[in-house]
Amino acid sequence: MKLPVVHRCSPYRRQGIVFMCVSQLCLLRWIVSPIVFVAVALNSCEIIVANPTTRDVTKPLATHNTVAEAGPLSLALYAIAIDVEKFVSESEKTLQAKGATALQPKLLSRWKGKTNQAYREAEYLRTMGEPSSTDLLSRLYSTSTRLNPLIQAYCGTPKGSQLSASILKQLQKQQPGREKEYVKILGMAEAKQFAEAQKALDKIGVEMDESIHFIGLVERQPFYTPYAMTRSKIDPPMFNIRIAVARKAFEDAIASNRPDPAALTAWVAAAANQLKATGKATVDGKADLSGPQVLEALSQRWGAGHGGCQRVQGLRWALRWHRDGDSSGTYGVGNGGAEVDPSFSEARAWNDAAITAIGTIITANAESIQPADVPMQHRQYLTVLATMSELGDSRTIQLKGNEALASLLAKNSVYQESAKNYEAATRDLMTFQSRLANEVSDALSKQFGVADSVVRENSRIQGLSPGLYSETPAAPILATLFYPADQTLLTIGPKLVGKPARTEGVLRISPTSKTSAVDFSVRTYGTVAAVMIPEPQLRQMKQDLLVDDSHPPLSIAATKAIDSAVMGNYAAVGGTIAGAQLESMITRFISISDAAAIIVPRGTTIAGTTEQTMMNQMAVRIDVDPIWIQHDLGIVKVPGK
Amino acid sequence: MLPRISDVDDFKPFDLPFCFVRSHFSLVLLIGCVLVAGSGCSQEKLKEMANSVNETVREQADNLNKVAVDAEIIPVSGRAEIMLTPPVEMKAAYARLYVIGDGRPGVLQFTSYDPDKGPNTFPALLIRANTTATSIAGLGGQSLNAQVFFQTQSGGAILSTGETGLVPVTIAPADPSKKTLDATIAAGSLIDSAGKPTAIGGITIEGVTP
């Protein structure tokens, strides 16, 4: 059986009740101690689980709840969709096994009304910018369509004929009252009471759907036509009202999430003035912070702003649907066409301000530092800078960090010489070890394809078989919800599980976390079971880098190498796909926490597309069972693999 | 300061810089004597003698030219050779001792590339050994355990002593008259990134010291 393709128009082109209450986007934006930060990160991962997975394809697509009512509405609609699918499947089996007389007309009638009302409400959900609506519309359309032959089959039985006749009579009897209702509803519209009008009309719609499908197409016209004409007066203005409410929620959320580089620069200047004068600063209500502690506070602000940039990107995608509509342009309320997405330049500007702040903080600190304090503070700075360089543009951060640290080192010539010689004594070794690791990794790539390519090649539509990518590899199309999410994952899940794949940019979420996050690439990201570099290799690395318990690394690069090995952060991990999860791009990024935003390197955003609506754009999260890990300085096979 | 190679190429007989005149004063004096004494000789004889002297001077100039070119390459830049099949010669080499001085070992590095610029010119050779020596002079005659990395071209395969492998590097006795620290690694093997060994007939290096 061919599965239903997600359609673009409702059967009746209707919209419904209004949600007047709008709440602000509820997002985790914490600038807190590292321990709380970690807790948020873990929590965010649990939130992500609210999507269909290969373990449980029935889970609904998550909602971002920018309009607060969206979450409960989406869950309620999924519950209906699941129940009606179950009923329809059972009824189809009954029809095949026992014939049409065994069908239950009351339930057929009730579910038809419920399904079509759920469909209308899924359209309301869509105006809230919720991509789960795409999945729901697809599923509800499918079941509504599958109900029709069941009803028709029953109507072909003697009892069904009698029921049809009785329903026709009932409709004729109800019609005068309905006509008055329509007049009343149109009066509400005149009075701009569109929400009340739509609510009243939806009630009639349910009753209408419960009955008219039991009579012929021609016979139903006298009853359906006035209903449809009334809807045409209510739904378009109601759609615009709902869009305006949602749009305000999106714009408010963008305003509260978009980071302000000028504010960051002012914050840094205030801290730097204090450091310059006394070597200490009061920042964010915390007194007597040292220079490295101020730098740590900067890193957290940087991360929060970076998370904000990702959320803003997702919000803009949803807002763009409000403006452009879907690819048919049906729901567009503004001008379509390509646009320059400002999210990337905003993320870049935020990043530039943060990188500049590194120099501002360290050079200010250098002005007041005592020579005896240089070694300890230098090492503390190295730790913060090493972490920063793992999260963003490593080369630039190390370059700017080293430039700034030079002013600090100049205050202690003996230590300066030590640090300079340490850097020279370890740099070339790391360069060669890194090149060797890349050489091995490149060789392994023949066996372990890049994760996004592996997902794409195993998620193509094949004939009647659902998928996320078009059948033609050349088509410029990204992961798209062409079919219901559960059906899609049921088909592609078994193809993906067990496949070898290579993931890049692997960051462990916390020192105690059992999972690491994998950088988002094109339309794929993931998690990897945390695996540590075996002790002998770690010991050798420390020996190579002249490090022991009393001799810490004295360069950013060496600190990053050792800290990342101890933490379990890697350049790449190869392994087999253990599971997959389907997510909407819009929801993924609007809902991303600051902690989870490590899946996108700081200073960047993930590209959307202007070739198709973002509303049905999907991402795949894969869980990878690691076989080998590529640290900056070497490749290690996971023991036992 | 030695003339630049391009300057040397432009040398002509009798058109020599002052340093040549000073260092070859006896030859110039001979030319003068011949010219003066020859005033009583026949024109042919005088011409023959002049040509002969001219030839001698040209030969001297050519020799100086050669010395100057050699001096430009060998004493200033050092050299290294890794005995692969065929051998790979590197016409520059450096020796650096990095003393950290906080209780951890220092590192002696021989490189075929400018150590200030990193391994970005190829072939690139790095020989790296931990040491407790605090001066280059103190390293003469020592044998240290070294890591070796060798890459013939940018993006090319790397031969190395592996993750934990070390090979002895024998450092020649210090020679105060030379500006290089010389060392050798005996015949053995290096491994590629897949762990496959490649035999080498040894490595010699004359690394210019700072």
Q: Of A422, A428, A548, which is closest to B118 when you measure between CB atoms?
A: A428
Higher pLDDT, A610 or B111: B111
Looking at beta carbons, which residues of chain B come within 8 Å of A443? 193-194
Sign of CA dihedral B111, B117, B118, B121: negative
For the stretch A42-80, pLDDT in tens is 333 333 348 999 999 999 999 999 999 999 999 999 999
For residue range A525-555, what is the model confidence (pLDDT) as tens digits?
Answer: 999 999 899 999 999 999 999 999 999 999 9
For strands A524-529 and A618-631, give the pairing.
parallel
Asked if residue A102 lies in contact with residue A68, where contact means CB atoms within 8 angstroms, the answer is no
- Interchain CB contact of A376 with B (< 8 Å): no
Question: Which residue of chain B is at minimal alpha-carbon distance from A437?
Answer: B193
Kindly report, residue by residue over A115-143, the tens digit of the pLDDT: 999 999 999 999 999 999 999 999 999 99
The Cα B163–Cα B197 span in angstroms is 13
- Test mutation, B163, B166, B192, chain A, max A CBs within 10 A: B163
Subunit contact A546:B130, Cβ cutoff 8 A: yes
Predicted confidence (pLDDT) per residue in A243-261, tens digit = 999 999 999 999 999 999 9
Contact across the interface for A425 and B109, Cβ inside 8 Å: yes
Cβ-nearest to B105 among A546, A550, A554: A546
Closest residue of chain A to B114, computed from CA coordinates: A428
pTM of the model: 0.82
Is B193's CB within 8 Å of A554's CB? no
A435 interaction partners in chain B (CB closer than 8 Å): 151, 158
CB atoms A425 and B98 under 8 Å: yes
pLDDT range class, residue A10, cuts 50, 70, 90? very low
For residue A537, give the chain B residue with the closest CA: B163
Identify the top-confidence range among A477-481, B55-59, B131-135: B131-135
Residue of A nearest to B108 (CA): A425
A203 touches chain B (CB under 8 A): no
Find where tokens 């997002």 sit: A27
ipTM of the complex: 0.80
Across residues A160-185, what is the average pLDDT?
96
Q: Is the pLDDT of residue A432 over 50?
A: yes
Measured over the CA atoms of residue A539, residue A544, residue A548 and residue A554, the dihedral's sign is negative
Chain A CA closest to residue B159: A436
Q: Helices marked H in A49-131 — which ranges?
A: 70-98, 105-127
Do residues A518 and A525 make contact, with C-beta atoms less than 8 angstroms apart? yes
| Partner B contacted by A634 (CB < 8 A) | yes
Q: With an 8 Å Cβ cutoff, are A432 and B160 in contact?
A: yes
Indicate whether B28 pLDDT > 50.
Answer: no
> Which stretches of A569-610 are assigned E, i.e. beta strand?
570-584
Residue of A398, A429, A435 to mutate for B, most B C-beta atoms under 10 A:
A435
Nearest CA-CA distance, residue B115 and chain A, Å: 8
- Find the closest chain A residue to B156 by CA distance: A439
What angle (nearest 5°) sits at the alpha carbon of residue B39, between those of residues B36 and B41? 125
Spell out which residues of chain A touch residue B193, defining contact as CB-CB under 8 Å. 436, 439-440, 443
pLDDT-based confidence at B54, cuts 50/70/90? low
CB contact under 8 A, B128 and A428: yes
Q: What is the pLDDT of residue B47?
A: 53
How far is the alpha carbon of A367 from chain B, nearest alpha carbon, in Å? 25
With vertex at residue A424, the alpha carbon angle to CA A420 and CA A430, rounded to the nearest 5 degrees, is: 135
Burial (CB count <10 Å: 0-12, 13-18, 19+), residue A174: middle
pLDDT at A446: 87
So what's the pLDDT on residue A341? Answer: 73
**A436 closest CB neighbour out of B105, B107, B193:** B193
Q: Which residue of B has its CA nearest to A414?
A: B101
Cβ separation of B111 and A436 shorter than 8 Å? Answer: no
pLDDT of residue A342: 87
Which residues of chain B does A542 touch, with a Cβ-Cβ cutoff of 8 Å? none
CA-only gyration radius of chain A, Å: 30
Task: Identify the CA nearest to A401 among candidates A441, A363, A370, A458.
Answer: A363
CB contact under 8 A, B101 and A424: no
**What residues does A570 pair with on adjacent strands?**
A506
Q: Which of B100, B102, B147 faces A429 most closely, judged by CB atoms?
A: B147
Which chain A residues touch B99 with a CB distance below 8 Å? 421
Dig out the tokens for A205 from the structure.
């719609």
Q: What percent of chain A has pLDDT over 70?
A: 89
Average pLDDT over residues B181-192: 96
Q: Are A621 and A526 in contact (CB under 8 A)?
A: yes
Among chain A residues, CA nearest to B128: A429
Write down the number of H helices and E strands in chain B: 4, 12
Contact residues, chain A, for B104 at CB < 8 Å:
546, 548, 551
What is the gyration radius of the CA atoms in chain B, in angstroms?
Answer: 25
* B177-199: average pLDDT: 94
Return the bridge partners of A579, or none: A623
Q: Is A443 touching B (CB cutoff 8 A)?
A: yes
> What is the model's pLDDT at position A639?
81
- Are A443 and B193 in contact (CB < 8 Å)? yes
CA distance B93 to B186: 18
Q: Calculate the dihedral angle through the C-alpha atoms of A37, A38, A39, A43, rounding to the nearest 10 degrees.
A: 100
Q: Above 60 in pLDDT, residue B66?
A: no
Using CB atoms, pick whichever of A427, A537, A540 lies closest to residue B118. A427
When the pLDDT of each residue in chain A is averaged and rounded to a whole number, the result is 88
Q: CA triplet A56, A61, A66: central angle to 5 degrees?
A: 150
* A280 token code pair: 């200490």
Residues with Cβ within 8 Å of B182's Cβ and at least 6 positions away in sequence, in order, are: B171, B172, B175, B204, B205, B206, B207
Q: Do B104 and A540 touch (CB under 8 A)?
A: no
Mean pLDDT, residues B191-204: 95
A522 to chain B, closest Cα gap in Å: 26
Closest CA to A350 of A294, A300, A309, A386: A309
Interface test with A, best of B107, B112, B113 (most A CBs within 10 A): B107
What per-residue confidence (pLDDT) applies to A581? 97
Do residues A496 and A622 touch, judged by C-beta distance below 8 A?
yes
Confidence at A18, pLDDT banded by 50, 70, 90: very low
Where is average pLDDT lowest: A10-19, A333-342, A404-413? A10-19
A446-477 pLDDT, tens digit per residue, is 899 999 999 999 999 999 899 999 888 776 67
Check: CB of residue A526 under 8 Å from CB of residue A623. yes
pLDDT at A339 over 90: no
Nearest CB among B99, B106, B149 relative to A432 is that of B149
- The burial of A192, by beta-carbon neighbours within 10 Å (0-12 exposed, 13-18 middle, 19 or more buried), is given as exposed
